[in-house]
Amino acid sequence: MKHRTLGRTAMRVPEIGFGCGNVGGLMIRGSHEEQVEAVRYAVSLGINYFDTAAAYGDGQSETNLGDVLMELRPAVFVATKFRVLPEDLDDIAGAIRRSLEGSLTRLRRGMVDVFQLHTNLLTADEPGIGAAEVLAPGGVADTLDQLRDEGLILHRGFTGMGDTDAIHAVIGSRRFDTVQSYYNLLNLTAGLPMRPGYPNQDYRRLIDAAAGASMGVIGIRALAGGAVSGPERAGLASKMPGGVMATGNDYESDLRRAEALSFLANDHRTAAQASIRFVLDHAAVSTSLVGFSSKEQIDAAVAASEMPRLDADDRERIRELWASDFS
C-alpha cells in the first residue's frame, strides 16, 4: 500500500482509508469476528487510517472499532466526527466536548488523531451553523484548538458539505488541518473546473484551495455512495443509500449517470476501481475513504490504488459525459 502525507499534519496515511460508516457497513453490522478479521487483514496490507463517527450506527461503529483495536492493538490512526445541531448553538463548545467524551469512551482511547466537524455548512441567511459559527470566538475552531491544547485531539478537520461559499470560507481561514471532499466520477467539481451551465453543486475546486492552505484532503464517496458499484449492494451495506452530499447528485440520478461509465470496466478493472483510481489521480488527495463489506472489497480497493492512472482517452470521454450530465 502506498502512503501519502496528510497535509501539514505530517501523518503518512494509506491511499485507501478504511471507512467505518454505513456505506459498506462492516463496522456497524458485521459480527465481531468479521470485524477483527477485516481490520487485521487491512492492517497487514498497510491500511493504517480508520475513519468513523459518533453518528455511524448511533455510536455502534465507534464501539466496534474500539473493541477491535483494543484486541489487536495495531499502530493506526483513528479519525472520528461530531455534529453541531441547531439546539447546540447556545453552547457549541459544550456540545463538541460532550461528543468527544462519548467518542473517546466508545473508542476506548485517550485521544483521536483527527476530530472532524460533520455538519452541513449553511449560508449566512439560513438558521443553523455556517462559516460564521465555525470561526466566531468560542465557536467550532476555537473549541478544537482548546481540545488540541489539552491533548485530546491531534488535528482539526471538517467535512466539506453544504454551501460552497461557506466551505471555502472555512478553508480560507486556515484554522483546520484536514477537509473531507466529495469527489468522484459523477461530480468532478472539487478537483476540476466546472463546465458552463453545470446543473449540480459546484465545489469550485476545493481540493486545490485546501492544498493551497496546506490542508490534508480526504476523498469521500469515491463510489458515489455505491452508485458507481451498480444497484446491487452488499448485505452489510446501509439499507438506504447514503444521503445527498452534493446538490443534484442523489443516489437514483447517480445510478443513471453511472450506467454511462461502463466503458471504464475491462479485463483488468471494474468501473468502481476506475472511480477510486480517478480520485487518487489527483495529487492533492491524500487518501480515499472506502467502506467495506468483505475482505474481497478490501482487495479490490487496494488493487485500484496499484493500477496506473486513467489514460488520456478515458479522461477525455469522462469529460464529455460530464459536459452533457451523462445524457
pLDDT at 236 over 80: no
Crossing angle of helices 60-72/32-44, nearest 10°? 60
Per-residue confidence (pLDDT) for residue 227, from 0 to 100: 85
pLDDT at 230 over 70: no
**For the chain, give me the number of helices (H) and strands (E)?**
12, 10
pLDDT above 70: percentage of residues in the chain: 95
Average pLDDT (300-309) is: 96
pLDDT above 90: percentage of residues in the chain: 80
Task: Please give the grid coordinates belonging to residue 183.
Answer: 469527489
pTM comes to: 0.94
Q: Where are the domains of the chain?
A: 11-323
pLDDT at 234 over 70: no
Rg (CA), the chain: 19
DSSP β-bridge partners for residue 182 = 220
127 band by pLDDT with thresholds 50, 70 and 90: confident
| Mean pLDDT of the residues in the chain | 92
pLDDT at 123 over 50: yes
pLDDT at 103 over 60: yes
Average pLDDT (121-148) is: 94
Which of 321, 207, 236 lies closest to 274, judged by CA? 321
Residue 181: what are its φ and ψ, rounded to 5°?
-120, 125
DSSP β-bridge partners for residue 16 = 288
231 band by pLDDT with thresholds 50, 70 and 90: low
Average pLDDT (280-307) is: 96
Q: Which of helix, strand or coil describes residue 220?
A: strand
Give the residue with greater pLDDT, 26 vs 244: 26
Question: Taking the domain 11-323, which CATH number applies?
Answer: 3.20.20.100
Amino acid 302 reads V
Per-residue confidence (pLDDT) for residue 310, from 0 to 100: 96
For 195-205, write each residue's pLDDT tens digit.
Answer: 777 788 999 99
pLDDT at 239 over 50: no
For 51-81, write each residue's pLDDT tens digit.
Answer: 999 999 999 999 999 999 999 999 999 999 9
Per-residue confidence (pLDDT) for residue 242, from 0 to 100: 45
Whole-number Å distance between alpha carbons of 290 and 269: 16
240 band by pLDDT with thresholds 50, 70 and 90: very low
Other C-beta atoms closer than 10 Å to the C-beta of 126 total 13
> What value, to the nearest 5°, has the Cα angle with vertex 239 and ends 233 and 242?
85
Other C-beta atoms closer than 10 Å to the C-beta of 195 total 14
181 band by pLDDT with thresholds 50, 70 and 90: very high
pLDDT at 28 over 60: yes
